[in-house]
Amino acid sequence: MSLTRRRALALAGGTLATPFLVRPAGAQAKVTLSFLHYQTGAAGQTLRRLLDAFQAANPDVEVRDTFRQSEQITAEIQAAIAARRPVDVAQVIGKNIIFHLNNLPAAQINEDPAANAWLARYLPTFLDLGRVGEKIYAIPHAYGTPQLYINRDLFRQAGLDPAREPRTWDEVIEAAKAIVAKTGRGGVAQLHAANKDYGTMLMVTNAGGTYLARDGMKAMFDSPEGIAAMQLWQDLAVKHKVMPIANDQQWTAAFSAGQLGMYMTSSAALRSFVAAAQGKFDLGVTNYPLFGDRPRRVPNSGAAVMVFAPEGPRRQAAIRLLEFFSRREVANRWSRDTGYMPLSVDPLADPEMAAYAQEFPYVQPSIRQMAETVDTDRWPAFGAIEAQTEISNMVDALWAGRATASELVPRTVARVNDILAKANPVR
């Protein structure tokens, strides 16, 4: 057996002891799986290496991966199913899972009780995103957790101690004021993602509020906590003037160029920021700031993996692939090479991961934040885009200073709930 083959088998588990990896006598010819994903660059290369390792340990399965932009994947799945083209496994943005369950033939992953033990490798809260009752339709995969990235050189230029990383939003604001005043650079920004939906959810949830009802049918961020969170987001731009109004791509570029003191974005950006900072500025990474004395509660960003393969060999092979992704050494390798959050229970029980965390301390905040992660709120089957557009318009109005959060938030929640009620009538 070649060295490459041995390494692949070791990554895949070596002994092939799990029931998914035992090929029954008289098995059919090689199964080909179609896998849609939105990973590109280094993350896409890492994914392909893991798929190659899976194939080496499962020679009866070939996985053909196809890149699509994240917002294109849903339409691609629908088109493939309509045209009867194979689509077996896909990365799906977590907040849209309910749409896929109601409109596409998603497969239940834990249908066979005798073969479910591998799901215990994940924290229960990480599985909740894909859970409906006792049924699981998605497993965590490309989960990001929000982190505070810091330009330590700008901290020094502003007279701040770079070793004292801001822990709360109040400390973030004070540091941002000093950076703007002393350096003329931007102070701080926070990602908002498509339609500013994730950024709004993140701030509301961390402030102790509820963004959506559990079934996704009602917006609930017009609570005092939700209004306070949105007022803080406005204050960054309007009152304190420390947040330059821009989009995520512009903020990312500004931070990478050393022009922004602090940026809150996904752990998935870690590798690119480390590369951008090399030889240019001193990078710091810490946990997402606390809202006063409240405990940290952060919804994950990113995607889960769902199975759409029909019953039979392709579905069985797809479940085998998901089981492979769940293995601690595989999940940890994915995390190390991409910056996505570790997903397995106690990732540091893996000696390679423990050594990596010591050698590359930038990853430690995301490991600490695993226990403080809550599942992303899921939108209902219909009306999500229209509702999110209302939220985006609200945030734009907040940043423009057109009205306060106490005025804008209740009106927006009322419009969102009207949209959701009309789009998802009770039957």
- For each successive 10 residues of the chain (427 residues), what is the average pLDDT? 40 38 54 94 93 97 93 86 88 87 90 89 89 92 94 98 96 98 97 91 97 94 98 98 96 97 95 95 97 94 93 95 96 92 91 95 94 91 93 97 98 98 86
SS3 102: helix
Which pLDDT score, from 0 to 100, does residue 70 have? 83
Please state, in angstroms and rounded to a whole number, the distance separating the CA atoms of residues 392 and 307.
31
Which pLDDT score, from 0 to 100, does residue 195 have? 83
Which pLDDT score, from 0 to 100, does residue 81 have? 84
Closest Cα partner for 87 from 98, 99, 101, 73?
73
Which pLDDT score, from 0 to 100, does residue 427 have? 61
Which pLDDT score, from 0 to 100, does residue 103 have? 83
pTM: 0.86
Per-residue CA distances from 356 to 333, 340, 406 (Å): 10, 14, 46
Q: CB count, 10 Å around CB of 337? A: 16
DSSP string covering 258-290, please?
A: T-EEEEEEEGGGHHHHHHHHTTT--EEEEEPPB
Domains, the chain, in order of start with CATH, read: 3-143+301-371 (3.40.190.10), 146-299+382-423 (3.40.190.10)
- Exposed / middle / buried, residue 303 (Cβ in 10 Å: 0-12, 13-18, 19+): buried
